[in-house]
Amino acid sequence: MARHFDEQKLVIASHNPGKVREIADLLRPFGVDVVSAGDLDLPEPEETEDTFIGNALLKANAAAKASGLPALADDSGLAVDALDGAPGIFSARWAGPEKDFMIAMKLVEELMRGAEDRAAKFVCALALAWPDGHTEVFEGTVAGDITWPPVGDKGFGYDPIFIAEGETITFAEMEPERKHAMSHRADAFRQLVAACFQSS
């Protein structure tokens, strides 16, 4: 049985404004006051784990311990079939120290050159950690294909080159509400909400 979340304030353990905005939007219906790790000047822990869930737990626990508040961390990325699941947990690192995702997207396309298989998926692991050390974890995915060149300016990260299954436009071309309804983050959030935010 998952622990029910009944606190008033939650730290989003991220320094990525796009990710913070998306998570805050998804949490809005529950009336939780959210603050980002960046706003609190919390240090960004080094992501040393080899899975999305491992890194999400690492970030959530670090933020909860440093802030004394419950913390929600997301570790997500793009896994491309033709690249044996890369960039995977290194998705953000492919964008370099300046977090320039155009560099990362170009690298994906260069490495895929000649590949007939364009299938990929976004993966999102969510970890909710309390200051007492209790944690809950959830993982969501959305399948699709890589397209080129990048299209759209509404998303962030690899959104401009990803078209979800059954869609004809990239995540970066979609209105946020439409993306939220189908994304990997939305999938993980549905599990989180059912387990921790809805009364039994």
Among all residues, which ones are annotated catalytic? 75
Distance, CA of 107 to CA of 25 (rounded, Å): 30
The tens digit of pLDDT for each residue in 75-123 reads 999 999 999 999 999 999 999 999 999 999 999 999 999 899 999 999 9
Beta strands in 85-152 (DSSP E): 119-129, 135-146
Distance, CA of 152 to CA of 187 (rounded, Å): 22
What are the domain boundaries of the chain? 9-197
Q: Which SS3 state, helix, strand or coil, does residue 34 take?
A: strand
Residues in the chain: 200
Q: What architecture is the 9-197 domain classified under in CATH?
A: Alpha-Beta Complex (3.90)
The tens digit of pLDDT for each residue in 16-70 reads 887 888 888 888 888 889 999 999 999 989 889 999 999 999 999 999 999 999 9
Instruction: Quickly list H helices, 6-161.
Output: 17-27, 52-67, 101-112
Distance, CA of 137 to CA of 60 (rounded, Å): 10
